Amino acid sequence: MLTFIEEILLLTLDDENGSFLPIRDNTMDYVLAGAALLDLAFIYRIDTDPERLMLIDRTPPGIPMLDRVLDRIAGSAEDKNTRDWVETLAREEAENLREAALARLVDQGILETQDKKFLWVFRARRYPAIDGTVQREVKHRIADVLLSDQVPDPRDVAIISLADSCAILRSIFSDHGMDSLRPRIDQVRKLDLIGREVSDTIEEIERTMAMAMARIPH
């Protein structure tokens, strides 16, 4: 089973050329941090409430990128809530999470690396899907949930909440489709406390940053 980190990266890859969708770097940092927390929550290493994020089992999951995050949480001397951890991990671990997850996807034969040269010097690395099967499967799961009234699997609820927090769903559905799906998306997001907590935290951070940027004289 793929991690949430791996699934969210697959959703951000352009089907045609393996480049990443134009999502702001700091937004993706928050999403990757949130995905790591969801991964740990779903294997019962952490839990959350509105006041704090709690360690419930310090046993390493055996996936190095998650082991590292869990070790940080277990070693923290202070209580932090979900927002605190999303901000900390986004700032200090996001790049490691991204590179480790992409390496795992390559090792599993889901993606391949492709380097292109520009002006004989600068390189752009892309990650085209080898056959696109896994990437399509993640998108189909989301579509199946949002285009029906079935009770979704908890993992699908979590990935939908996470994808909605950074507008990735717009790469799957048109703007018009998103308008018609908004009631269903909101309904699905209410089904999972941890997924909603993480995605709401990301959206709150984004709003705070947008307001701060708007106050800066241009």
Half-sphere exposure of 101 (CA within 13 A, CB side): 24
> Quick one: average pLDDT of 213-217?
60
Domains and CATH numbers, the chain: 4-214 (1.10.3630.10)
Q: What is the pLDDT of residues 66-96, one digit of tens each?
A: 999 999 999 998 889 888 999 999 999 999 9
> Quick one: average pLDDT of 10-15?
83
- Give burial (CB, 10 Å; 0-12/13-18/19+) of 120: exposed
pLDDT score recorded for residue 64: 97
> pTM to 2 decimals?
0.86
